[in-house]
């Protein structure tokens, strides 16, 4: 289930994008798996459907999901690029944290 932090300064649609990409990366969502419709997700999260639509539009642009008229919304067939991008982002965050910690260690000496 997608979790939204309403006190977070990150816009809700970006949180939805991040959660779905995270689920794809972790293998929770598999290729060709059907996911909740815009209305279903909006109802479950208690948010405006336009917010979910904005997130889904961006996910489609990134080739994470595909929407088939009258059939539903599905995780894309090829998710390697999404997985590689997310892993790269996490590695970059970790490297930045390590660099910051090393600076702090050098200051204390």
Nearest C-alpha neighbor of 6 from the set 53, 56, 45: 45
Nearest to 74 by CA among 25, 20, 3: 20
Taking only the tens place, the pLDDT of each residue in 16-66 is 999 999 999 888 999 999 999 999 999 999 999 999 999 999 999 999 999
pLDDT digits (tens, 9 = 90+) for 54-97: 999 999 999 999 999 889 999 998 877 777 777 888 899 999 99
Hey, what domains does the chain have and what are their CATH numbers? 12-108 (1.10.10.10)
Choose the weakest-confidence range: 6-10, 35-39, 58-62, 101-105.
Answer: 101-105
Round to whole Å and give the CA distance between 83 and 24.
Answer: 7
d(CA 71, CA 94): 40
């Amino acid at each position: 289930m997608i979790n939204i932090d309403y006190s977070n300064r990150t816009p809700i649609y970006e949180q939805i994008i991040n959660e779905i990409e995270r689920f794809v990366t972790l293998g929770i969502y598999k290729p060709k798996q059907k996911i909740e419709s815009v209305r279903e997700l909006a109802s479950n999260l208690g948010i405006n459907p336009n917010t979910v639509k904005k997130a889904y539009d961006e996910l489609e642009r990134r080739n994470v999901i595909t929407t088939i008229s009258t059939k539903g919304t599905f995780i894309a067939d090829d998710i390697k690029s999404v997985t590689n991008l997310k892993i790269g982002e996490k590695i970059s965050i970790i490297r930045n944290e390590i660099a910051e910690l090393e600076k702090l260690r050098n200051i204390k000496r």
